[in-house]
Structure 1
Amino acid sequence: MAAKSSDHPNFGSRTDIGCVRDHNEDSLIVAPPLFAVADGMGGHAAGEIASEIAVNTLAEYAPDHADSETLGFAVAEANRAVIRGVKEGVGREGMGCTMTAAILEGERLVLAQVGDSRAYLLHKGKLQQLTRDHSLMADMIEAGQLTAEEARYHPNRSVITRALGSDPHMAADLYELNVESGDRLLICSDGLTTMLEDNAIEDILGRINDPQRCASTLVSEANGAGGYDNTTTIVVDVTGQGEVKQKRSARKVKLSMVITLLALVLVCAGAFFGFRSYANTVAYLTDENGKVAVYRGIPGTLFGIQFNELDHTTDVSISDLQPGVANRLSDGIRVDNVEAANALIEEYEAEIEAKNDASRESGDDKNGEDAGASADADKKAGSTNSSSGGSANR
């Protein structure tokens, strides 16, 4: 963890093992303007290794400024580093971690998030969750299958649908937003949010002014509520750039209405045709009636206009894919072009073939064992018959 910087004095952090676990799988970065939390999974000597690899790699590749795409690239590199660690014998198979990373630069905040570690913003005394959990519970809540309160006690509340270390093509969710002086950023592992409800977190963030004491209090309250998991918190106060913002607003007011409208028309036209040109070059994979299909363009619509068309549907069944990949296909897996999509299809086919080969080999081994057992039984039966015949001759 980095020491406090004179340029960013208004932050605090704490990580704690909790009251039940025997080791801490959380890792964090406090190196302004970069702040991040990674929550490891995979058990002892695995989860903590995965989270440590992730934060070290993130720190190496993260940008110095609020650039969401570069921050997303750094998270992708962290994902690849965790996967390499397993192949190289560091940690063990199945290890992984969540990652929520933020760069706060003045009044500009960018986030990259994978898993269920969260980022919150306290704005004018009201708490807002900035990130969306990649978890089974979040999916079920959005589908209307259960309430947020029911999800807190659900037996599958710890199941996450996206994490670092499982899918080499994993992509982080990226967020960009403007914040204001006086706002407060919280980044935390789920050890906090499973123990404290949002209204309790909001109260502590609004009541305790010192960010270090606030971060420590959040962890202490989580432990007091049971501390069933490791808990990590980072609290950052936004100092902002109010004067710069006022000057920008003043310049905008001086612009004439005609120039503004003209600029708006030109920008909209340029953006539309630029977007259409971009959509013609990219592609994505999606679920088409249980099969993997390749589309040119981008998923969804923009202002009611579709920018995609079906290129072809493959023979790869969604049911044969890994669950994480299948879940991502429901939203569409974006790639650079159709050629890249076809290459990804080939990877899926190779993985499915390898799994089928392994199943066939396992079946052959079992058949061989059954045949051997049958031969032994026949041999024993023959021996018994021979013995009985001898007694009859006497």
Structure 2
Amino acid sequence: MAAERAYKSTPHTRKGATTTFGSRTDIGCLRDHNEDSLIVTPPLFAVADGMGGHAAGEVASEIAVNVLAELAPAHPDPEALGRAVEEANRAIIRAAHEGRGREGMGTTMTAAMLEGERLIIAQVGDSRAYLLHQGKLQQLTRDHSLMADMIEAGQLTPEEARTHPNRSVITRALGSDPNTQPDLYEINVETGDRLLICSDGLSGMVSDADIESTLARVRDPQRCASQLVNEAIANGGHDNVTVIVADVSGFAEVRRKKMARKTKFTIALVLVLFAAIVGATAWGTNTYLHNAAYLAEDNGKVAVYRGVPGDVFGLSYSEHVETTDVSVDDLQPGFAERLKDGWRVDSVEAAQELVEEYRQDIAARTQPGNGADNNGNNNANAAPNASNSSTTDNQPTQGGAA
């Protein structure tokens, strides 16, 4: 990851894997140089507001973002992000001792990592992180400033703090104490939420109510960031102003990709199943047409055909196999009638077996002495019964004369 340094009226906008964001930094109306630095490399976003004068504040903020960009974790991890901020603090102190910048230079640092619906923040100083949730603005971080301490103690109101002469005094910053530690925040956000990270050049010039209105009204994050900077400048632009606006798309993109993959898989599966059904139907039809057979008349004889009679979808699936020696006229009337439209059977072998049955039937009906003539009529030619009984003479046998 590389840090990005943005100067006056230089917009930055990109679309990360799950985050759409925009950013802008501006010198403001009163300063002659910009001491703010920022990082916009999803999932890492950060704003550093340098202090210490020319050639010092900007050095401190730039060191801070460079070290942070190098050491920040790849995914949200509050402890690891906190350690990166602590190392940025030590790097600024070393640089001052080595003559880079000036002794006493420092910077605020508000670093956030946004991934999915998880947000972590490491913060030192008074650069703020806000969250617009369901149209309502929430300040996520607590300022390390004299004004924040006085407001919490009940010594000032937020409105009074906005114009207080010590409003720029901060109580914690990077570069002043080697033991400085950031405040760490871990927040669950939702799809549709909007994250704002800004230097006090925005929060000190534009009220929270107006910030809320702009965040809710301007939907494009880059236009929104630019609009917020414009409002700070319109209100006086007393300081450098830096703004990052990041929309929480959470798992929406993941769900969209998952749904797209599921849809593609479903379509592919339907196509495969359709192709399988068509293929199976075609195979089954082809197998049936090549195995089926039927009997029909061919010039007065019973003929065997492979296929089916007539047309199928306008095509003929019929192949002549043989014309038998069986005459249609010799068939019984019911058999002959069925041949007119084609007598379908399961196979050529079944057709040939049926023809053989015809032959046997005809032979049985035409065999002499079988009780039927050539026309199938019964004959009454039964032979008369012969009488083999003998006549008994009941008269007595006559003898000779006594």
Q: TM-score range by the shorter chain?
A: 0.5 to 0.7
Is structure 2 residue 202 aligned with structure 1 residue 192?
yes
Q: Distance in 2 between matches of 1:114 and 1:6?
A: 26
Give 3-state SS (helix, strand or coil) of 1:72's partner: helix
Q: Which residue of 1 aligns with 2:127?
A: 117
Render the CA deviation track for 1:335-368: whole Å, top value 9, x for unaligned: xxxxxxxxxxxxxxxxxxxxxxxxxxxxxxxxxx
Render the CA deviation track for 1:187-224: whole Å, top value 9, x for unaligned: 00000011000000000000000000000000011000
Alignment of 1:236-385 (within 5 A): 236-241=246-251
Q: CA deviation at 1:94?
A: 1.0
In the superposition, relative to structure 1, how do residues 153 and 221 fare at CA in structure 2: closer, same or farther (>3 Å)? same
Q: Distance in 2 between matches of 1:128 and 1:6?
A: 24
Is structure 2 residue 28 aligned with structure 1 residue 15?
no
Asked whether the 8 Å contact 2:19–2:248 carries over to 1, the reply is no
Asked whether the 8 Å contact 1:83–1:165 carries over to 2, the reply is yes
Q: Which residue of 2 aligns with 1:42?
A: 52
Asked whether the 8 Å contact 1:3–1:31 carries over to 2, the reply is no
Count of paired positions = 245
Higher helix residue share: 1
Is structure 2 residue 128 aligned with structure 1 residue 127?
no
Alignment of 1:68-83 (within 5 A): 68-83=78-93
Which of 213, 217, 233 aligns to 2:227? It is 217
Which of 168, 180, 184 aligns to 1:170? It is 180
Q: Which residue of 2 aligns with 1:95?
A: 105
Which of 53, 56, 63 aligns to 2:73? It is 63
Asked whether the 8 Å contact 2:13–2:23 carries over to 1, the reply is no
Q: Distance in 2 between matches of 1:77 and 1:137?
A: 27
Q: Distance in 2 between matches of 1:52 and 1:187?
A: 17
Give 3-state SS (helix, strand or coil) of 1:237's partner: strand
The code of the aligned residue for 1:56 comes to: N
The code of the aligned residue for 1:238 comes to: V
Give 3-state SS (helix, strand or coil) of 2:14's partner: coil
In the superposition, relative to structure 1, how do residues 207 and 3 fare at CA in structure 2: closer, same or farther (>3 Å)? closer
Q: Which residue of 2 aligns with 1:230?
A: 240
Q: Distance in 2 between matches of 1:170 and 1:225?
A: 34
For structure 1, list consecutive stretches of 5 or more residues without a partner in the other structure: 246-394
Q: CA deviation at 1:97?
A: 0.2
Which of 163, 186, 201 aligns to 1:153? It is 163
CA RMSD of aligned residues (A): 1.5
Asked whether the 8 Å contact 2:18–2:116 carries over to 1, the reply is no
- Find the structure with the greater CA-based Rg: 2
Same amino acid, percent of matched pairs: 74
The code of the aligned residue for 2:88 comes to: A
Q: Which residue of 2 aligns with 1:183?
A: 193
With 41-50 and 7-16 compared, the bigger mean Cα shift is at 7-16
Give 3-state SS (helix, strand or coil) of 2:138's partner: strand
Q: Which residue of 1 aligns with 2:214?
A: 204
Give 3-state SS (helix, strand or coil) of 1:28's partner: strand
